[in-house]
Structure 1
Amino acid sequence: MTLPPELKRQFREELEQYEAEVKMPLISSMEELAKEEGIQIGKQEGIQIGKQEGIQIGEERGIQIGKQEGIQRVALNMLRQGMSIDQIVSLTQLSTDQVEQLLTQIEAQ
């Protein structure tokens, strides 16, 4: 027994709609899980990148601070050896105020 063409078409449409309704929750759940996993992976990658950038910035700041402290130690030694403020400014690239502050430290000792 075969169905008339109109009933056959209607049956197919209803069958397709039923299949879509049954499969949809499964697909939606899978999509939601994939989305959550993607977000989690993205967060982890972001944290890792942030840590690496933080380490790099910290290292760069440490190097700069170390250089500055070294220059100040040299300037202190120059002051102790009797060099003029102008000579020290010229040789170390420190400002006059910075060298004068170092001189104040020496005088306070």
Structure 2
Amino acid sequence: IRAHYIHRLQADGVQVIKLGETMRFVLLSDCLFKPDSANLRSDYRPTLKALARLMKTYDKVNVQVAAYTDNNGHIERQQALTTRQAQVVASFLWSRGINARLAYAVGYNR
């Protein structure tokens, strides 16, 4: 069942990286969010649902939702936007049953 979800994510443009016991999923903000906003695009919600379903197949899961700024615009504004985008994705995962104690959101400057 995990392979099904991983294949689905990859078909949706998610980069899946396995590093030992750790799995990393790279989702581009241009796919997830409307331009220059923290509003999720409705057409990408099924991908996030598949990601949440995959996470729920594991007994233990620690989730870091990280967003990164680009080099465009005012750095403080970009930092606030990436932090908010990470929070929106984490909140979506929490709403799909991912334990809030095991997931956290953070925004980074490039």
User: What TM-score results when the alignment is normalised by the length of structure 1?
Assistant: 0.28
User: What TM-score results when the alignment is normalised by the length of structure 2?
Assistant: 0.28
Q: Which protein has the bigger helix share?
A: 1
Q: Which protein has the bigger strand share?
A: 2
Tell which structure's C-alpha radius of gyration is larger: 1
**Structure number with higher relative contact order (C-alpha < 8 Å, ≥ 6 residues apart):** 2
